[in-house]
Amino acid sequence: MDILVLSNDYKADYNEDLKGYQVEVDYNGGKVMMTLVPYKNNDDSLEALKYSFNKLISELEEYDEDAMGDICDKLGPYLEKAIPEAPDLTPEELVSDFILKKVAVMDTNRVGMSESEGLKIVFSYGKAGIDDPRMELMAIGYLDSGFDTFYINGQQMATMPLTMSYDLSCGAKATYNLNTEIFDAKVNLFGREVVCFLELDDNELGAKNSIALFEKLYAHIDDYDKKARRFITENLHLKIDRVRDNLDIPDLSVENVMEDIFLDSIVCGAEEDIDMTYCFRGEENEMRAAVTGTLDGFKSFLLEFGEAGEFDEY
């Protein structure tokens, strides 16, 4: 069939390259290209596509609002990075000059389903007058259940970590950091602000495991701090000459270090692993001592040296 007769006097022409039917429809004073892709092994595929076309034509504004609303709600931080020329704008302002350009409906092997089930929809947005896939937003979902997958400039974006935050029992809030691709929170511990990093779960849909681990650690933080310091002290006695050389403090003692060392950061992993990093600052150089283990105890020790202030990135 070279032509698919649709509602509202529209007719879609078959595109051999796309293996589907295409038709331009009027919308908001412009044109939107609609592509309807059947599934060859489904006898009612064309009827389902006709149904979807009729539904979309009659409710296109609602679907458009839902798609763009989800893009703004779930991809706000990504939008700010992808469109850097206006960093102070809200997500809604960032996409205000994007218009709906293309809609695709695909029958993805929905054999045995009703005409409204299993129909994938893709809404594609671009800037008016510019046809460039590097300036494109996409919302993908299903006709009967809404949008759940999103692309910016051709790259799929994970949305779950961005749309949630965690309120910790200490009063801090853990939020997703786009630069480190991990959750972090600034927690007041021992009179200082300590950055706590919380790794994503294996499915990358949140940080429930590392959050639970943090809460266990925080509930007994005094005890774990003492254990970590004892572990550092034991190892420093074996490495004090190296510490003196790197910090250029010839008469430095382990006791001097432990008196001034402070907790700098904590990493809680998704597999019950813990990293507590302490910092000692000399006049020109500084040292970080990281102890790694689990709630049952620390097992490894690592020293790192740098110029004073080099580790302030946290």
Enclosing domain of residue 36 = 3-157
- Percent of the chain topping pLDDT 70: 86
Q: Which of 163, 266, 261, 286 is nearest to 216 (CA)?
A: 266
What value does the mean pLDDT take over residues 275-301?
95
The residue length of the chain stands at 314
Task: State the pLDDT confidence band at 314, using cuts at 50, 70 and 90.
Answer: very low
pLDDT, tens digit (0-9, with 9 covering 90-100), for 43-75: 788 888 999 999 999 999 999 999 999 888 777
C-alpha span between 158 and 164 (Å, rounded): 12
> Which pLDDT value is given to residue 313?
43
Residue 111 in any domain: the answer is yes
Residue 313 in any domain: the answer is no
Task: State the pLDDT confidence band at 91, using cuts at 50, 70 and 90.
Answer: confident
**Looking at 135, 157, 179, which one is the last position of a domain?**
157
Dihedral, 224, 225, 228, 234 alpha carbons, nearest 10: -120
Q: Are residues 144 and 191 in the same domain?
A: no
Task: State the pLDDT confidence band at 84, using cuts at 50, 70 and 90.
Answer: low
Residue 187 in any domain: the answer is yes
Q: Are residues 165 and 149 in the same domain?
A: no
Q: Are residues 129 and 243 in the same domain?
A: no
Q: Are residues 55 and 197 in the same domain?
A: no
Positive or negative, the Cα torsion across 60, 65, 68, 74? negative
Task: State the pLDDT confidence band at 160, using cuts at 50, 70 and 90.
Answer: low
C-alpha span between 157 and 74 (Å, rounded): 9
87 pLDDT higher than 60: no
C-alpha span between 91 and 86 (Å, rounded): 10
Helix axes 221-247, 208-219, angle to 10 degrees: 90
Q: What are 302's strand-pairing partners?
A: 290
Q: Are residues 104 and 216 in the same domain?
A: no
**Looking at 131, 157, 183, which one is the last position of a domain?**
157
Residue 195 in any domain: the answer is yes
DSSP 308: T
218 pLDDT higher than 60: yes
**Looking at 157, 176, 204, which one is the last position of a domain?**
157
Residue 314 in any domain: the answer is no
Tokens of 46: 């064309």
Contact (Cβ atoms closer than 8 angstroms) between residue 287 and residue 304 = yes
What value does the mean pLDDT take over residues 183-196?
96
Q: Are residues 148 and 227 in the same domain?
A: no
Q: Are residues 50 and 145 in the same domain?
A: yes
Q: Are residues 10 and 153 in the same domain?
A: yes
C-alpha span between 33 and 131 (Å, rounded): 13
C-alpha span between 123 and 137 (Å, rounded): 8
pTM > 0.95:
no
Residue 54 in any domain: the answer is yes
> Which pLDDT value is given to residue 82?
62
Q: Under DSSP, is residue 200 helix (H, G, I), strand (E, B) or coil?
A: coil
Q: Are residues 83 and 223 in the same domain?
A: no
Q: Are residues 148 and 188 in the same domain?
A: no
Kindly tell me the number of DSSP H helices and DSSP E strands found in the chain.
5, 17
pLDDT, tens digit (0-9, with 9 covering 90-100), for 230-257: 999 999 999 999 999 999 999 999 999 9
Instruction: Tell how far CA 84 is from the center of its chain.
Output: 18
Number of domains in the chain: 2
C-alpha span between 144 and 147 (Å, rounded): 10
Residue 177 in any domain: the answer is yes
- Percent of the chain topping pLDDT 90: 59
